[in-house]
Amino acid sequence: MTEDTSARCQIAECLDIDLKGERWLCNRCSRDLGSAHDNYKEGCLIQDRDPQEIHDPVIDGQFTFAPDPDWCRIVEYYCPGCGVLIELEYLPPGHPLTHDIEPDIEQLKIKHKVI
């Protein structure tokens, strides 16, 4: 059985919207990530990383040009189906997940002729 992709619209490198079902989908494995009216990040696996795990100090001393973990954290969002990295952001500790994409689904349906 083949998957109907006629109502899919690519929003980001690894993120689609199924316009008929109004759902976020991973465009690699088609995993449903939740309602397109909500934040897709809530349907992802989330890894909160210490920036010192990723950024090596550029110089020795008190100021190394590496992000300070007291001021910055790295949040990675992965598809729970295939593990592809969907999004990554630098946030202050304690900051809630950002809601960075809020598509106008009705206009996308009109543009792509989805009824």
- The confidence band for 18, taking pLDDT boundaries of 50, 70 and 90, is very high
Residue-by-residue DSSP string for 24-51: EEETTT--EEEETTS-GGGGSEEEEE-G
Q: Is position 78 within any domain?
A: yes
Domain count, the chain: 1
* Better-predicted residue by pLDDT, 13 or 57: 13
Task: Give 86-106 pLDDT, tens digit per residue.
Answer: 999 999 999 999 999 999 999
Q: Is position 66 within any domain?
A: yes
pTM, two decimal places = 0.87
Q: Is position 98 within any domain?
A: no
User: Strand 45-49 and strand 73-78: pairing?
Assistant: antiparallel
Percent of the chain with pLDDT over 70: 96
Q: Cα(85)–Cα(78) distance, rounded to whole angstroms?
A: 5
Task: Give 26-61 pLDDT, tens digit per residue.
Answer: 999 999 999 999 999 999 999 999 998 888 877 888
Q: Is position 1 within any domain?
A: no
Token pair belonging to 21 = 């079902």
Residues 6+ apart with CB under 8 A from 7: 18, 19, 20, 21, 112, 114
Q: Is position 87 within any domain?
A: yes
- Range of 67's domain? 8-93+103-111
Residues paired with 16 in a beta bridge: 10, 25
Q: Is position 18 within any domain?
A: yes
Contact (CB, 8 A) for 40 and 26: no
Q: Is position 62 within any domain?
A: yes
Q: Is position 13 within any domain?
A: yes
pLDDT of residue 96: 94
